[in-house]
């Protein structure tokens, strides 16, 4: 399994909550309460408020590459005279046989390369999860975090979603699409017998690392 973030705290405390608790209460018998109004909607806007995330992620990508190169070159050269030295180098007088030194250079090279490649990847994730507001930013945006663990027959499925949302994107039923979540981190992993059977063995993994071909 990949390294997953720790689960969010069950209750998030406001940074100024401790200071406000120490301050004396004024107007204890007042009708005013620093809490949700009866006339407010049900949208999440405070710490520990809940919001429903409709996870609909469809990601696909593909790419192709084609490369072909061809190069041919040849060289042909001859030396007729080198600083006045005779082409037979005097060997005919020494051995009594006719010998002609005729240095020539011939060379050729052919180089060709062709490569083809293609890649295709697709993924789809559909689900619903309820997240909790863990931070209210100064501009009003909400940082949310959620985790859902489902265990069926010793097979554990974990869905984690984290990110930042804008209150204006929250629907009237206090839900939001996952496409509206900024800096989204979505984990959907499994751990159990089925997941283990889909994984390669440890020896194959080592062999893939050290195999040079």
Q: Give residue-wise pLDDT tens across range 6-34.
A: 887 788 877 665 555 555 555 555 555 55
Buried b (16+ CB within 10 A) or exposed e, 80-110: eeeeeeeeeeeeeeeeeeeeeeeeeeeeeee
Task: Give 116-127 pLDDT, tens digit per residue.
Answer: 888 888 888 888
178: nearest Cα among 190, 191, 189, 188:
188
This prediction's pTM: 0.58
């Amino acid at each position: 399994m990949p390294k997953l973030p720790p689960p969010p705290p069950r209750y998030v405390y406001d940074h100024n909550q401790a200071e406000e608790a120490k301050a004396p209460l004024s107007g204890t018998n007042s009708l005013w309460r620093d809490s949700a109004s009866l006339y407010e909607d049900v949208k999440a806007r405070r710490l520990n408020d809940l919001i429903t995330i409709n996870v609909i992620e469809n990601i696909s990508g593909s790419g192709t590459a084609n490369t072909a190169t061809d190069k041919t070159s040849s060289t042909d050269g001859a030396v007729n005279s080198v600083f006045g030295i005779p082409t037979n180098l005097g060997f005919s007088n020494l051995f009594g046989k006719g010998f002609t030194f005729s240095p020539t250079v011939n060379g050729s090279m052919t180089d060709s390369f062709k490569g083809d490649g293609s890649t295709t990847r697709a993924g789809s994730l559909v689900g619903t999860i309820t997240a909790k507001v863990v931070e209210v930013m100064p501009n009003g945006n909400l940082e949310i975090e959620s985790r859902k663990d489902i265990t069926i027959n010793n097979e554990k499925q974990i869905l984690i979603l984290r990110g930042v949302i804008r209150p204006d994107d929250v629907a009237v039923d206090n839900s939001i699409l996952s496409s509206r979540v900024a800096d989204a981190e979505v984990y959907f992993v499994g751990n159990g017998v089925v997941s283990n059977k889909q994984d390669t063995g440890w020896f194959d993994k080592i062999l893939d690392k050290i195999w040079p071909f």
